[in-house]
Amino acid sequence: MNKVKTYKSDAFASIHETMSGMYDAGVIDKKTMRQFDEACLTPVHAFTATEIKALREREEVSQTVFALYMNVSKDSVSQWERGIKKPAGPTLKLLSLVKQKGLAAIS
């Protein structure tokens, strides 16, 4: 199963695809490929409760609607916004995408 990669821009996607081909061909080493991964892929940010709430409010959606987009329960969004729990893994990636490109980017 291949992971879906999300890039900062179309230009970064093209650069990363080219470098991936060079890595597969043995032209560049693993360390160099990691550097391109860090430069080209959308960074993951550890969000605070305040940032999550501000992000949801910026997108002008309820906790329930935001939860549907994020594929989590409304209770999870509520707990994130109150600082009881913190999002992790793929959810952090989705939040990073929403922060950068808006909710429409993950719909």
| DSSP string computed for 51-66 | HHHHHHHHTT--HHHH
| Residue 75 and residue 33 share a domain | no
Count of domains observed in the chain: 2
> Can you give the length of the chain in residues?
107
Give yes or no: residues 77 and 96 share one domain. Answer: yes
Residue 78: inside a domain: yes
Pair (55, 35) in one structural domain: no
56 and 82 housed in the same domain: yes
Residue 36 and residue 61 in one domain:
no
* pLDDT reported for residue 1: 39
- Tens digits of pLDDT across the chain (107 residues): 345 566 767 777 787 788 888 888 888 888 888 887 777 776 777 899 999 999 999 999 999 999 999 999 999 999 999 999 999 888 998 998 899 889 998 88
> Is residue 99 assigned to a domain?
yes
**Is 88 contained in some domain?**
yes
Cα–Cα dist 60/50, whole Å = 15
Confidence at residue 15, expressed as pLDDT on a 0 to 100 scale: 79
41 forms beta bridges with 7
Please indicate, yes or no, whether residues 68 and 100 belong to a single structural domain of this protein: yes
- Whether residues 54 and 94 share a domain: the answer is yes
User: In the prediction, which pLDDT does 81 show?
Assistant: 97
Same domain, 101 and 55: yes
- What DSSP state is assigned to residue 105? G
As beta bridge partners, residue 7 has 41
pTM beyond 0.85: the answer is: no
pLDDT of residue 2: 47
pLDDT at 91: 92
Give the domain range for residue 97. Answer: 49-106
